[in-house]
Amino acid sequence: MDMWLGAGRELVAIPGPTVVPDRVLSAMHRAMPDIYAGELTDVIDEVFDALPGVARTASRPFVTISNGHGAWEMALSNTLSRGDRVLVLECGRFGTVWGEMAQFNGLRVEAVTADTGRAVDPAAVEEHLRRDAQHEITAILVVHVDTASSIRNDLPAIRAAIDAAGHPALLMVDCIASLACERYEMDAWGVDVTVAASQKGLMTPPGLGFVWAGPRALAAHQSADLRTRYWDWTSRTENGPYYLRFCGTPPVTHLYGIREALRMVGEEGLEARWHRHTALAAAVHAAVDAWSTPGGLSLHATDPAERANAVTTIRAGAIDADRLRSICRDDAGVTLGIGVGDVAGPAFRIGHMGHVNVPMVLGVIGTIEAALGAMRAPTGGSGVAAASAALADVL
């Protein structure tokens, strides 16, 4: 039929940029203020004061005017030196790409790669590190939730593996997709550098990156030779005008936005946010499991304990994922994420991170189910029924 029913409020359910709350949008809609004095300095202080709590750390935060890739580069350039060996733990495309950046910037990159559909195996990490008896590896890069595969790595287990090998490498974690969605404890988990960005769980438009640097990372910074003037932590922490923190004009509008978003995170509470994401993700996983059928849809993450709370990657099997996405977007008003990286064939993704609640998730699931019906695609059972039942358990 191809009837257009999309005239209501559009829902973009991709895994970032995510839905920006009206409160954040309104906070950003303003004329430019004085950048040398007055209210903006209070906004900057409030943002910097709130950031450590979000990553559960006492570490100093740095704010980049960039996307997540910029924050990745800030983390590498401030702590490492040309020719250093760096170990990347890969369970999806984003880990691989961070490693490619490290390689391009002059580091020697090696990898521990997870099996398809699985998280990185901590035992493999321990074994790899034990082979480095001279401790030449200076940093371990790992993505908490890989947004391509929707798999969550077990960071406490990885930390324990590094400790079991007695290895001193810095542990750097990309929390771009997971921060404020999944439990994350930078200090308790012994993480040296955390990297995040504004446009996923933090509900603000793309344009800000965040890097938290722990004491071991700040010590490594003293001798790092990949340092560049723009990203340099030292020049961003010198005493002097506050705009040194940004190496130039502050990102005024984004600062107002992220301040409001951080207030919302504080009002809800981190634990409550983690629980909300867990409950909504369980509904999505239940729906996909219900739809699953041989040759049809299936969850990419095979171990339920490794499935992310922020995003779900769905393998499409013989079902035409492009057609499904286009019915959802063009006829119904829901945009789904495309499959990225090696997820064994065609796939699509549902983002459920940040400003997301029950009607949004059930709306996405119901729309997919209707589109599958329109395509006469084979499914095992009703995803809507399964998701509602999963939510009924927690409401």
Ligand X SMILES: *Cc1c(COP(=O)(O)O)cnc(C)c1O
Whole-angstrom distance, CA of residue 90 vs CA of residue 267: 34
- Looking at residue 344, what DSSP letter applies? S
If the CB atoms of residues 16 and 214 are measured against ligand X, the closer one turns out to be 16
**Options 73, 174, 192, 232; binder of ligand X; rule CB under 6 A:** 174
Residue span binding ligand X (CB under 6 A) among the ranges 62-70, 241-249, 342-350, 383-391: 62-70
Q: Minimum distance between the CB of residue 184 and ligand X, rounded to whole angstroms?
A: 12
Of 28-36, 174-182, 276-284, 365-373, which part binds ligand X (CB under 6 A)? 174-182
Q: Residue 365: what residue type?
A: I
The answer to whether residue 67 forms part of the interface with ligand X (CB under 6 A) is: yes
Minimum CB distance to ligand X, residue 211 (Å): 13
Cα-Cα-Cα-Cα dihedral of 321, 322, 324, 329, to 10°? Answer: 140
231-to-47, 78, 204, 227 alpha-carbon distances in Å = 19, 7, 22, 7
Q: How far is the CB of 15 from ligand X (least distance, A)?
A: 6
Provide the minimum distance between the beta carbon of 337 and ligand X in the complex, in angstroms, as a whole number: 11
Q: Alpha-carbon distance 383 to 297, whole Å?
A: 11
d(CA 129, CA 208): 33
- Only one of the segments 65-73, 125-133, 342-350, 359-367 lies at the binding site for ligand X (rule: CB under 6 A); that segment is 65-73
Q: Which is nearer to ligand X, 69 or 108 (by Cβ)?
A: 69
User: Shortest distance, CB of residue 327 to ligand X, whole angstroms?
Assistant: 26
Under rule CB under 6 A, residue 207 binds ligand X: no
206 is a contact residue toward ligand X (CB under 6 A): yes
Q: Which residues sit opposite 11 in a β-bridge?
A: 334
Q: What residues form DSSP beta bridges with 298?
A: 315
**Beta bridge partners of residue 283, listed in sequence order:** none
Smaller CB separation from ligand X, 176 or 324? 176
Helices of type H across 90-223: 93-104, 122-130, 155-164, 215-221
User: What token pair was written down for 15?
Assistant: 């895994």
Binding site for ligand X (CB under 6 A): 16, 67-69, 94, 143, 146-147, 174, 176-177, 197, 200, 206
